[in-house]
Amino acid sequence: MALDLLPPIAAQIGQMILVILVAPLLIGVIRKTKARLLCRVGASIFQPYLDLWKLMVKEIVPAHNTSWIYRVAPYVVFSTTWVAAALVPTFATGLMFHGAADLVAIVGLLATARFALALAGMDVGTSFGGLGASREMMISALAEPAMLMVVFTLAMLAHTTHLAAIATFLAHQPIGLQLSLMLVFLTFIAVLLAENGRIPIDNPATHLELTMVHEAMILEYSGRHLAVIEAAAALKLVLYFSVFLCLFAPCGIVTSLESVPAILEGFVLYMAKLLLGGVALAIGETCVAKMRVFRVAEFLGAGLVLGLLAVLLLFASEGVR
């Protein structure tokens, strides 16, 4: 019994530590790539680690009016995002807590994190906090159903909403060329960009007043609180990349925790895919301009409709097969 549990526990803890360690690296790679594409030298890919450390050793400067929500929210955001990231298989399935939450619950956990952050934005009582919170909730009101359409499509292909089972299914079953999968691929990209505040939805590097969304919410944060929130944002990006890899590039994912070389191979493959994804994101971001806030609704609405179309196709084809 105890020996049976050992590999899942080890995989679970290893994965939780891995996602935290790799998250700033991914941000560093994206920033470095973007700098190189703009013919700048750019900071080292390890700079985000130093940034986090710098923020941690600085004092925090909360406003007079803030309540306990402001102080607790960063930890809520971080821990729910961390749990969600821990439930997504990265290089191996068969995690300890995989039964606790499926893909719908992971979407729900991210919604909890967003809820806490939006409340924290409102807590200070400034116009920017409210602006960020209100825009973030508008974007999520379209991105979350779009994400659930992706979940529905995959759940209907694999007959489960359980992410590890979906990944195993997609890695090992020949499903052929699925039109629905291609449609939700586009939807997922739109959701990934929106939920992580990337260009063209939001610009993570801006403090230009009228265009910021995520940055406006966390405008008043400083010191260790800001470090925790930044780490959570990086973690969320890793999470979305991992889900992306699970769903659309699951090849090489380790499904049995028996042999050490296989695990190592899966790990190296995962890291390579992750960093390659970061480079691709940076190239994409460099090529497009940020859109106006109210164009976001059209962008995400299109994603939502594509997702719905994918689900409808699957619903319709189910009876035919």
Partner 1 sequence: MNALCAVSGTTALLAASFVPASFFRFFSTKLLYPICVLLCLFLLAQDVSFLLSGAAPLTLVLPIGLPDIGMRLRLDSLSSFFGIVVNLGGALASFYGIGYGPHDPHHHRARPFIPIFLAAMNLVLMADDAFTFLLGWEGMSLLSWAMVVSNHQEWGNRKAGYIYLLMANFGGLVLLLGFGLLAGHGGHYGFDSIRAMDKPVWMAGLALLLALIGAGSKAGLVPLHVWLPLAHPAAPSNVSALMSGVMTKVAVYGFIRIAFDLLGTPTWWESLIVLLLGGITCVIGVLHAMLQEDLKRLLAYSTVENIGIIFIGLGLAMAFRANGMEAVAALALTAALLHVFNHSLFKSLLFFGAGAVLSGSGERNMDRLGGLIHRMPQTAVAFLIGCVSIAALPPLNGFVSEWLTFQAILLGPQLPWWGLKFAVPVIGCMLALAAALVAACFVKTYGVTFLGRPRTQAAETAHEVDIFSRTTLFILSALCLVAGIVPGFFIEALGPVTQSLVGKSMPAAESLDWFVVVPQSGSLSSYNGLALLLFILISGVVTAWFIHAFASRLTRKTSAWDCGYPAPTPLSQYGGSSFAQPVRRVFGTLLFGARDHVDMPLPGETRPAHFHVSLVDYVWTRLYVPIVQAVRYASAKIEPFQALSIRRYLMFSFFTLIVLLIVVALWH
- Within residues 58-117, the interface with partner 1 by CB under 8 A covers 58-65, 67-69, 75-76, 78-80, 82-83, 86, 97, 99-102, 104-105, 108-109, 111-112, 114-115
Stretch that binds partner 1, among 57-65, 189-197, 258-266, 268-276 (CB under 8 A): 57-65
Report 147-186 residues binding partner 1 (CB under 8 A): 148-149, 152, 155-156, 159-162, 165
Residue 31 in contact with partner 1, rule: CB under 8 A: no
H-helix or E-strand spanning residue 157: helix 127-158
Query: What SS3 state is found at 109?
Result: helix
Residue 131 in contact with partner 1, rule: CB under 8 A: yes
From 14, 49, 134, 178, residue interacting with partner 1 (rule: CB under 8 A): 134
* AA identity, residue 119: L
- Maximum Cα–Cα distance across the chain: 64
Using CA of residue 188, residue 190, residue 193, residue 196, what is the dihedral sign?
negative
Q: How far is the CB of 286 from partner 1 (least distance, A)?
A: 27
If the CB atoms of residues 202 and 285 are measured against partner 1, the closer one turns out to be 202
Instruction: Please count the residues of this chain forming the interface with partner 1, following the rule CB under 8 A.
Output: 90
Report 247-286 residues binding partner 1 (CB under 8 A): none
H-helix or E-strand spanning residue 236: helix 223-248
Quote the CA–CA distance of 270 and 113 in Å, as a whole number. 26
CA 115 to chain CA centroid, nearest Å: 16
Residue 2 in contact with partner 1, rule: CB under 8 A: no
Quote the CA–CA distance of 129 and 121 in Å, as a whole number. 4
CB atoms inside a 10 Å sphere around CB 321: 4
From 174, 176, 261, 319, residue interacting with partner 1 (rule: CB under 8 A): 319
Q: How far is the CB of 66 from partner 1 (least distance, A)?
A: 8
